Structure 1
Amino acid sequence: MEISPVTVIGLLAASCTTISFLPQVLKTWKSKSAKDLSWGMFSIFATGVFLWLVYGLMISDLPIILANAVTLLLVLTILYFKFTFDRDEPAAN
């Protein structure tokens, strides 16, 4: 199976945009704090990524499928941390 230059560019672009969430996941995990992260932004983003994943599956586009599957996993991890860590933090007076 030969991979076209267009697919290579797609895979590289997908890798960059997907990996960009890794520092936020690691920072949130290490600090055990997600108070500055927006529920709204990450919820809307997760919905968009999920729809991109569905789209990629519908057109059988490997870069779109791989990038959005991994990105969705990372974003859902951030949302899980937000839910877990926000519950554990005392309320501000």
Structure 2
Amino acid sequence: MEQYIGLIAAFLTTVSFAPQAIKTIRTRNTESISLGMYVLFTTGVGCWLVYGLYLNNLPIILANSITLILTGIILIMKVKHG
């Protein structure tokens, strides 16, 4: 049961982030994004991914893998174009 709750939570938190990520990727507008916040957030997501790998916890691994890819792209765009 807890695995299902984790999968639902992982899905919802990842999907909630996706529209903003997609908009930023499409428009390439990173002007209103805080570089410091994205550095901290991306680092935190990376730590959650490593933690999930240590626990072998599928919901944590899936959610943070996808989110790390999206935040990484946005962070790279912010550094290059910000």
TM-score (ref. length: structure 2): 0.90
For the aligned residue pairs, the C-alpha RMSD in angstroms reads: 1.1
1:48-87 matches, cutoff 5 A: 48-86=44-82
Moved over 6 A (4+): none
Deviation at 1:22, TM superposition (A): 1.2
Q: Which runs of 5+ in 2 are unaligned?
A: none
- Aligned residue in 2 for 1:10: 6
> Which whole-Å CA distance do the structure 1 matches of 2:66 and 2:25 have between them?
17
> Which whole-Å CA distance do the structure 2 matches of 1:34 and 1:8 have between them?
35
Deviation at 1:14, TM superposition (A): 0.5
Deviation at 1:85, TM superposition (A): 2.6
- Aligned residue in 2 for 1:25: 21
Structure with more helix by fraction: 2
Deviation at 1:41, TM superposition (A): 0.6
Q: Which runs of 5+ in 1 are unaligned?
A: 87-93
> Which whole-Å CA distance do the structure 2 matches of 1:20 and 1:77 have between them?
17
Aligned sequence identity (%)? 48
> Which whole-Å CA distance do the structure 1 matches of 2:22 and 2:50 have between them?
27
Q: Deviations over 1:9-50 (max 9, x none)?
A: 100100111112211122112222101001111110111111
1:30-49 matches, cutoff 5 A: 30-49=26-45
Task: State how many pairs are aligned.
Answer: 82
Q: Deviations over 1:51-89 (max 9, x none)?
A: 111111111111111111111111101112212332xxx
Query: 1:72 is aligned with what amino acid?
Result: L
Larger Rg, first or second structure (1 or 2):
1
